[in-house]
Structure 1
Amino acid sequence: MSFQLFAWCMSFFLLLCQNVHGYYNISVSGGYGRSFDGIGAISGGGATSKLLVNYPPKQRDEILDYLFKPNFAASLHILKVEIGGDAQSTERDGTESSHMHESWDENYERGYEWWLMVEAKKRNPSIKIACLPWAFPGWVGEGKPDPYNRPNTTAMYVVKWILGAKKYYNIDVDYVGIWNERRYTTEYVKVLKQLLLANNLKNVKMVVADGDWSVSADIMKDPAFAAVVDVIGAHYPGTESTEDSQKTNKTLWASEDYSTFNDDVGAGCWARLLNRNYVKGLMTSTIAWNLVASYYDALPYTRDGLMTANEPWSGYYEVANPIWVTAHTTQFTKIGWRYLKHESGVGHLERGGTYVTLISPDNKDITIIIETMTYNHSKCIRPRIPKYEVFSQQAEFFFSGILSGVTKLNRWKSSFKYGLGEKSSVFVKMEPIKVSLSSFRLSLEPDEVYTLTTLEVGVKGQYGSPPPSQKFPLPYSDSYTNYPHYSEAFNFVPQCGVWEVRPAYDDPKNKVNRQVIITKRDVAVSVKMLIPRSNGTTGAFVGSRIDRGGCEALTAKGVFFTIFPADSSYAVYCRLDRTCKITTGVLKDPLKFDTWYTLKIDTKNSVSSLYIDNKLLITVSLPGTIPKNGFVGYGTTNFGIADFDDLSVM
């Protein structure tokens, strides 16, 4: 009888367990893991938020709420911004103005990162602010392409930006970096720390060096250097840190990651990174490049933001699913929560996927985030990772110790679908999970994200549909009269140098754009230009059918109509770098410095008609290498001064 009872009990036990693929203990009995530093996103590197500024106020506020408003959508913990450096940063989408074009020049009205930080703080006063230079003005290195040539000068340039944020916008900067994805010197990092301390900025932490993990070697061999480094920040680490970086005992971050088209594969990439950067790499913060894709689709890294907002003329925007993947973590955690230890709340699932558990400082609340993203549906733009598999599975979780009293977990779920005609469901609130005898079981399918939490929060914020998408409105014109001085003209995305609205040289009451828009195939573009004799550029151009921007702008193909006042000549080029020439000539009427001229290109099919002051100069046939459509733009042949006004596109 006893044997039969034992056999029956054993059979019953096996029946209960036969479909369970993994058992996971959730406990703080063995201590805690690392402290959670938050999830963030980057504006800049470069000009990624440019088109957001001139959205209609209603839609602009909605977009900002989706990004920053607590317990609403992405609810970001960190905003990282570019310290503009008057140059194209890496290979991205435009230039951002510096607060100091020259050593004697300080201006804290330039650009839009100040505005964005203010808007983020308005919605979430607790959001952390990080800053990083992607480029430096030439004067910093005293004419040499090396900002470390004069470390004190460069460090003070950065410190002044941080001081300006506080003085003019009441923004306390929390983190500062060195130089995006470029070399560092230990001397410069030490000098920057000294100047931060000397200027009452002791609370600003140093993130070094926004590249790879190799800085760890210098930290371990140089105690003075180690003393000034607060965070080791790596870019696109592939969810892994190095043994040396972990040995430093420094805080580890993925200080730039993601950078992937924001469809559902991009959402899968982001979900995988947010968990696995800690599970595999002990990284306590992951920061996405970029915050919002507010740049034209034809520029590099199309729609690589958490959401897309690149139609200010229509007000249309897209709340992409990376926003809701972010919410799975950000709405149910806070900076200062602690990860639990590996195998006590953090780890890999038996049949693919990962889980992390975070606990509040008072041990009263916990949040578990689970992801089962498959290899093909979570590919990031970089780096390539080894293939892996994920299968359907039953997972059983056990609470022990002080967590054994948990009786209910609120549940949020995203289920991504990639088949033809299938639609993903994201960030859906489900029935709570009842925890019985300190355990619960969960059925997991591939390509899912779960949040399980004791918190009674969580909102899938909605504003309804934005206005419908529209093509760029033509005809288009801009006289620059309604902009504040030092601001950037709407809808223009500077690709080289610095462009600001300034008083005209010949009439200070007039405003001009000093130093590109999506067009249809047949377009006429005109702009007024003035080249001053003093410090003027050698030539200025108007362009049409331009095929690229970013750091590849100098190799752009298109039609570039250029005038040179010094010898009254003109040229029509088919490449911006002037290595491809269509025609050249000398004007009958001499050109003059300090004089306004209107240049116009009217292109139809494969023929361009070129005008000066509304008089036809020449008609040229375009070579087959010219793109059939593209941007329009204007600019200078070198870094001399020119004023531009009254742009018209028809």
Structure 2
Amino acid sequence: MRPHPRWILAAAGVLVALSLATPARAAAPRQVTIDGAAGGRVFDGVGALSAGGSSRLLIDYPEPQRSRILDYLFKPGYGAALQILKVEIGGDTNSTDGAEPSHMRTPSDLDCDRGYEWWLMEQAKARNPRIKLSALQWGAPGWAGSGEARPTVWTTPDIDYLTSWLGCAARHHLHIDYLGGWNEAYSDPGWYVRLHQALRDHGHGDIKVVADDSFNWDVLGPIAADAGFRDAVDVVGQHYVCGYLSDYLRCPSPAAAQALGKPLHASEQGSLPYDSGAAPLARALSRPYIDGGMTSTINWSLIASWYDTMPFQASGLMGADEPWSGAYVAGPSIWATAHTTQFTAPGWHYVDSAKGYLNGGGSYVALRSPDSRDYSLVAETVDATAPQRLRFSVTGGLPDRPVAVWSTDLSSTDSRRWFVRAGSVRPGDTLTLRPGHVYTLSTTTGQGKGRAVSPPPAPLRLPYRDGFQSYADGATPRYISDLDGAFEVSPCTGRAGRCLRQVIGTQPVWWNGWLRRPVTVVGDLKSWRDYEAGVDVRLDGDGWAELLGRVDGQWADAVSGIHLRLSADGDWQLYDENLRGQDSTLCVPSDPACAGVARQRTHPAQRRTLAAGHAAVPARKWHRLRLGFSGDQVTASLDGARLARVGTPVHASGQVGLGVSPWRHAEFDDLSVTPVRPTGDIRYLPARSLRATGTGFHHGYEPRKAVDGSVQSMWHSEWSPLTPLPQSVTVDTGRTRRISQVTYQPREDGNPNGVITRYELAASTDGVSYTPVATGTWPLDATRKTIGLPGVAARFVRLTALGAGAGYASAAEIQIGIPAG
């Protein structure tokens, strides 16, 4: 017979079916016994990581949006309800998407209010006093390092540096629960022994030491061989135990790790977008325990609150990269997390009788409270291609009463289908679990779904100006984001008022070797296209300073954009730096986890001198640099005199930046960006106004990345398994327009896979009926391609790849041009 589903109308108006009868000919359901007397490790919690500059823009958000974002992350019974917050101990060095400020730049310097992580921890604690706090360093000031050509932090001064940071935490009334060594740099056993003793000597003996926040469980050898190291380490934490930038299908640990008798943590996992990364995240919240006995998972990042010119755009539990508009995204990753965090607490116990994999795809894991009065069962079916049937029972002192059922449909973009209360069931019932879902069955109460709604996205409108007069000394100005070094407000030299000064004078101990020269950026990649940028600059001594424009990416040692450099001796250079030939997937050099997983950078960035010369400029005086952009034309000037006017089509839009030679001091004042009317008869629609869908994509390469304004990200068709051509991207311009041009920018990383060589362009006013308007062929290269149109009336434009490199399809950027005026 057919099952009779119990239909329950959830609060959001979504119908959820729980099949409570057994079909006569269906396969037997998976029987799950939740035994309160069974063994199981102690659950340490689910958390997220604010590091690498990933939360930089959050503090600049206006109210009430900023508080609403924090509620979604930390408030119990509202959103992600995080149980652990892990933060970076800043070192003024690039740590992925920027540099975080150090609290102690010299042995005699101490500023316990520098940076935004203190504020973030205080906000988390204010919402959830029981949240655990964890800390780790990516880099450190040069004085704390080993002084070698490739310095390390395995020094006694660095231990002093960390204990001083803990002292600052105490001043902020913050108790740190976990402390690591050096991010992804493996370990020095003797250093950990000294750190352990120093914590005891400074009254921090209750802090748990984590080793070694690296890869491949290589730390197990030193732990086994060194009793002192073994005693100093409280928790073994490893990164990307489920794989790197993948679907996170399996999350094992070695038997030697599980036999240590120490907690095992997946101390960094993630790096996937807040939308398409929700399904892998759902796996990574349960499978580390199922496969490897790991009792905590930390997602990087907490929130994608950095500029989208930097790596890993949109990677986080939610997105917030527009402080000027207040717009944010609380997507499915929040609710995938809530299925564990809103129904458990650190100190609960896993129930080993109720963990495993479903027959047709998916997994499940159960936890119970220490007194066995409550339990929760979390099941995910994101692998499943057909409904899964599960029957559960309880024993061992657990309550035999109805439990609430919550579900999230991760295959849906409809927020009404996320985190829905779907009624209740009793032990002994059989449930039908639909593919692509996460379910929680729990005796607990107090769950909730936040209802705050984001304002719409909007451009950072020009003109933009900052004279730095309204800030306190030591402040980071609004929207300014340091990629390396530290740019802070300080009294001007040689003029009244305050200026922006690059203050780091010694090479910090770096983590990944990126950049290693001070650079800061500001602005809106998507809408800043034709403008004039200007800044006053003063060099303290030798070296050089730069004004950058149309910055559209940062990777490794390159900042992609147009640079105007002025040296102290009067030499100047206008040059273009771009990322063609660079892979857009992060892989730390010498990191074994990269082997066979993510391809490392294959070529250096391309740098092309556009113009150069010499100007008679007095030393240690203020000078005005300007860069103007109009279409493909770039104009550079110094103190009101034109230096050069050149054409370069590489960078279509982007931010403004400031740079200084390593590690010199320089001051900047009166930073301005004013709009310029574009030349020519074509105006490109701002990327912010476009939406894109596609016939398919690989995780992390969604269609929206073809219209995000950045050539460093891209749409790519599915390659695992391969989805054959034709493949297409459809761009929605928002309303019907006269479209006169479409440009296609192939990927710029030197890989020809997916570069379109034969195409069809179709247009539509309603998104249903499409008319072909252009066909043609292109060479297999990375040059920008242009399709001219005779003013086609359309709202939707569809680019279809009929032929492309290696049988894939990809697009770094698609632009839609309309008549100017």
Distance 1:129 1:506 in 2: 44
2:131 to 95, 102, 127: 127
* SS in structure 2 at match of 1:98: coil
After TM superposition, the structure 1 = structure 2 runs for residues 395-414 of structure 1, keeping only pairs within 5 Å, are 395-403=390-398, 405-414=399-408
In structure 2, relative to structure 1, the CA distance for the partners of 1:219 and 1:15 (3 Å cut) is: same
Higher helix share: 1
Matching of residue 605 in structure 1 with residue 631 in structure 2:
yes
Distance 1:181 1:36 in 2: 24
Q: Quote the offset at 1:612 in angstroms.
A: 2.3
> Which is worse superposed, 287-296 or 471-480?
471-480
1:469 to 457, 468, 480: 457
* SS in structure 2 at match of 1:402: coil
Distance 1:362 1:331 in 2: 18
> Which is worse superposed, 503-512 or 73-82?
503-512
Matching of residue 185 in structure 1 with residue 176 in structure 2:
no
In structure 2, relative to structure 1, the CA distance for the partners of 1:590 and 1:266 (3 Å cut) is: closer
Q: Quote the offset at 1:507 in angstroms.
A: 4.9
Q: What amino acid does structure 2 have at the position aligned with 1:50? A: R
* SS in structure 1 at match of 2:41: strand
Matching of residue 354 in structure 1 with residue 363 in structure 2:
yes
Q: What amino acid does structure 2 have at the position aligned with 1:572? A: L
Q: Is the 8 A contact 1:372 1:444 kept in 2?
A: yes
Q: Quote the offset at 1:460 in angstroms.
A: 0.6
2:158 to 150, 154, 159: 154
Q: Quote the offset at 1:466 in angstroms.
A: 2.1
* SS in structure 2 at match of 1:346: strand
Distance 2:77 2:539 in 1: 52
In structure 2, relative to structure 1, the CA distance for the partners of 1:422 and 1:148 (3 Å cut) is: closer
Matching of residue 258 in structure 1 with residue 270 in structure 2:
yes
Identity fraction in percent: 36
Q: What amino acid does structure 2 have at the position aligned with 1:619? A: A
Q: Is the 8 A contact 2:489 2:498 kept in 1?
A: no
Q: Quote the offset at 1:100 in angstroms.
A: 1.6
Q: What amino acid does structure 1 have at the position aligned with 2:533? A: V
Q: Is the 8 A contact 1:607 1:619 kept in 2?
A: no
Q: What amino acid does structure 1 have at the position aligned with 2:543? A: T
Distance 1:537 1:189 in 2: 41
Q: Which whole-Å deviations, capped at 9, do the CAs of 1:174-224 have from their partners, x for residues lacking one?
A: 111111111210011111111111100001111111112111111122111
Show the counterpart of 2:209.
Answer: 206
Distance 2:35 2:153 in 1: 52
Show the counterpart of 1:223.
Answer: 227
Q: Is the 8 A contact 1:39 1:77 kept in 2?
A: yes
1:584 to 584, 589, 612: 612
Distance 2:26 2:256 in 1: 42
Show the counterpart of 2:726.
Answer: none
Q: Quote the offset at 1:110 in angstroms.
A: 1.4
In structure 2, relative to structure 1, the CA distance for the partners of 1:306 and 1:423 (3 Å cut) is: closer
Q: Quote the offset at 1:611 in angstroms.
A: 2.2
In structure 2, relative to structure 1, the CA distance for the partners of 1:210 and 1:102 (3 Å cut) is: same
* SS in structure 2 at match of 1:53: helix
Q: Is the 8 A contact 1:338 1:358 kept in 2?
A: yes
Show the counterpart of 2:121.
Answer: 117
Q: Quote the offset at 1:390 in angstroms.
A: 4.8
Q: What amino acid does structure 2 have at the position aligned with 1:504? A: C
**Any gaps of 5 or more consecutive residues in structure 2?**
1-20, 243-250, 504-520, 579-604, 675-821
2:75 to 69, 73, 76: 69
Distance 1:348 1:504 in 2: 63
Q: Quote the offset at 1:557 in angstroms.
A: 3.5
Show the counterpart of 2:142.
Answer: 138
Matching of residue 316 in structure 1 with residue 327 in structure 2:
yes
Q: Is the 8 A contact 2:36 2:368 kept in 1?
A: no
Show the counterpart of 2:53.
Answer: 47
Distance 2:22 2:79 in 1: 43
Show the counterpart of 2:669.
Answer: 645
Q: Looking at both structures, which has the greater relative contact order when contacts are Cα pairs under 8 Å and sequence separation is at least 6? A: 1
Q: What amino acid does structure 2 have at the position aligned with 1:400? A: T
* Structure 1 stretches of at least 4 aligned residues deviating more than 4 Å after TM superposition: 13-19, 145-150, 421-424, 576-579
Show the counterpart of 2:422.
Answer: 430
1:546 to 538, 544, 551: 551
Show the counterpart of 1:621.
Answer: 646
After TM superposition, the structure 1 = structure 2 runs for residues 332-481 of structure 1, keeping only pairs within 5 Å, are 332-341=343-352, 344-374=353-383, 390-403=385-398, 405-417=399-411, 425-435=417-427, 439-463=428-452, 465-481=453-469
* SS in structure 1 at match of 2:562: strand
Q: Is the 8 A contact 1:537 1:638 kept in 2?
A: no
Q: Quote the offset at 1:103 in angstroms.
A: 2.1
Distance 2:198 2:380 in 1: 43
Q: Is the 8 A contact 2:146 2:152 kept in 1?
A: no
Q: Quote the offset at 1:472 in angstroms.
A: 1.8
In structure 2, relative to structure 1, the CA distance for the partners of 1:24 and 1:104 (3 Å cut) is: same
In structure 2, relative to structure 1, the CA distance for the partners of 1:312 and 1:537 (3 Å cut) is: farther
Distance 2:466 2:232 in 1: 48
Distance 2:493 2:255 in 1: 59
Q: Quote the offset at 1:258 in angstroms.
A: 1.4
Distance 1:47 1:69 in 2: 23
Q: Is the 8 A contact 1:140 1:147 kept in 2?
A: no
Distance 2:174 2:410 in 1: 39
Higher strand share: 2
Distance 1:149 1:510 in 2: 34
Q: Quote the offset at 1:71 in angstroms.
A: 1.3
Matching of residue 272 in structure 1 with residue 283 in structure 2:
yes
Q: Is the 8 A contact 2:55 2:305 kept in 1?
A: yes
**Any gaps of 5 or more consecutive residues in structure 1?**
1-12, 375-388
Q: What amino acid does structure 1 have at the position aligned with 2:277? A: G
Q: Is the 8 A contact 2:236 2:264 kept in 1?
A: yes
Matching of residue 328 in structure 1 with residue 339 in structure 2:
yes
> Which is worse superposed, 98-107 or 444-453?
98-107
Distance 2:201 2:208 in 1: 14
TM-score by length of 2: 0.70
Q: Quote the offset at 1:20 in angstroms.
A: 2.7
In structure 2, relative to structure 1, the CA distance for the partners of 1:558 and 1:244 (3 Å cut) is: same
* SS in structure 2 at match of 1:271: helix
Show the counterpart of 2:531.
Answer: 523
Q: Is the 8 A contact 1:417 1:423 kept in 2?
A: no
Q: Quote the offset at 1:146 in angstroms.
A: 5.4
Q: What amino acid does structure 2 have at the position aligned with 1:116? A: L
In structure 2, relative to structure 1, the CA distance for the partners of 1:27 and 1:649 (3 Å cut) is: same
Q: What amino acid does structure 1 have at the position aligned with 2:480? A: F
Distance 2:309 2:152 in 1: 35
* SS in structure 1 at match of 2:57: helix
Show the counterpart of 2:571.
Answer: 569
Q: What amino acid does structure 1 have at the position aligned with 2:317? A: L
After TM superposition, the structure 1 = structure 2 runs for residues 281-292 of structure 1, keeping only pairs within 5 Å, are 281-292=292-303
Distance 1:176 1:269 in 2: 27
Q: Which whole-Å deviations, capped at 9, do the CAs of 1:405-437 have from their partners, x for residues lacking one?
A: 41200111112336xx988711000111133xx
Q: Quote the offset at 1:16 in angstroms.
A: 5.8
> Which is worse superposed, 55-64 or 537-546?
537-546
Distance 1:423 1:335 in 2: 28
Q: Is the 8 A contact 1:39 1:78 kept in 2?
A: yes
Q: What amino acid does structure 2 have at the position aligned with 1:417? A: S
Distance 1:297 1:111 in 2: 21
Q: What amino acid does structure 2 have at the position aligned with 1:429? A: R
Matching of residue 500 in structure 1 with residue 488 in structure 2:
yes
Distance 2:202 2:326 in 1: 42
* SS in structure 2 at match of 1:50: coil
Q: What amino acid does structure 1 have at the position aligned with 2:645? A: V
The two structures, once aligned, show a CA RMSD in angstroms of 2.1
Q: Is the 8 A contact 1:42 1:79 kept in 2?
A: yes
Distance 1:66 1:450 in 2: 20
Q: Is the 8 A contact 2:75 2:128 kept in 1?
A: yes
Q: Is the 8 A contact 2:502 2:660 kept in 1?
A: no
Q: Quote the offset at 1:248 in angstroms.
A: 1.5
